[in-house]
Chain A
Amino acid sequence: MAAMPALEIEPRGRTLEEEVVELFDSFREPLLRYLASFGLPLADGEEIVQEVFLSLFQHLRRGGGRTNLRGWLFRVAHNLGLKRRSRTPRGSNALWKWMPDPAPGPEEQFFTGETERRVQAVLRALPEQDRRCLTLRAEGLRYREIAETLAMSLGAVSLSLARSLARIARAAGR
Chain B
Amino acid sequence: MREPDVHLSDRELVLAADGELSTSRERHLAACGTCRARLRDLERAVADFAGVHRGTLDPLLPRPDAPRARLRARLAEAASGKPIGRQFWFRPWHAAAAGALALILTVGVLSLYQWRWSRANGLVDVPSPRLTPGAARKVDREELCNSALPKNQVVPADLRRRVFQAYGMANADPRAYEVDYLITPALGGDDDIRNLWPQPYVSTVWNARVKDALEDRLRDMVCRGQLDLAEAQRDISTDWIAAYKKYFQTNVPAR
Contact = CB atoms under 8 A, between A and B. Distances in A.
Contacts of A165: 41-42, 45-46, 49
Contacts of A24: 64, 67-68, 71
Interface in A9-57: 16-17, 20-21, 24-25, 28-29, 32-33, 36, 42-43, 46-47, 49-50, 53-54, 57
A119 B52 contact: yes
A138 B49 contact: yes
B67 A138 contact: no
A174 B52 contact: no
Contacts of A158: 9-11, 13-14
Contacts of A25: 64, 68
B162 interface: no
Contact of B61 (A3, A32, A53, A154): A32
Interface in B1-44: 9-11, 13-15, 17-18, 20, 41-44
A46 B62 contact: yes
Interface string B43-56: 11111111111111
Interface stretch (B75-83, B153-161, B214-222, B246-254): B75-83
A168 interface: yes
A54 B84 contact: yes
Contact of B50 (A21, A43, A138, A142): A138
A87 B10 contact: no
Contact of B75 (A57, A100, A166, A169): A57
A3 B18 contact: yes
Contact of B46 (A116, A134, A142): A134
A17 B76 contact: yes
B72 interface: yes
Interface residues of B, number: 48
Does more than half of chain B's interface fall in helix, strand or loop, or is it mixed?
helix
Contacts of A99: 56-57
Given A33-B54, A154-B11, A142 B76 contact: no
A120 B56 contact: yes
B60 interface: yes
Nearest to A97: B60
Contacts of A53: 71, 75
A168 B138 CA distance: 98
Contacts of A159: 10-11
Nearest to A145: B18
A143 B18 CA distance: 7
Interface of B: 9-11, 13-15, 17-18, 20, 41-58, 60-62, 64, 67-68, 70-72, 74-76, 78-79, 84, 86-88, 90-91, 93
Interface of A: 1-3, 16-17, 20-21, 24-25, 28-29, 32-33, 36, 42-43, 46-47, 49-50, 53-54, 57-58, 87, 98-100, 115-116, 119-120, 123, 134-135, 137-139, 142-144, 154-155, 157-159, 161-162, 164-166, 168-169, 172, 174
12 contacts: A1-B46, A3-B18, A21-B75, A29-B58, A54-B74, A134-B49, A134-B53, A138-B50, A139-B50, A143-B15, A143-B18, A168-B48
Given A120-B56, A161-B42, 8 more contacts: A3-B17, A36-B57, A99-B57, A115-B48, A134-B53, A143-B15, A155-B11, A158-B14
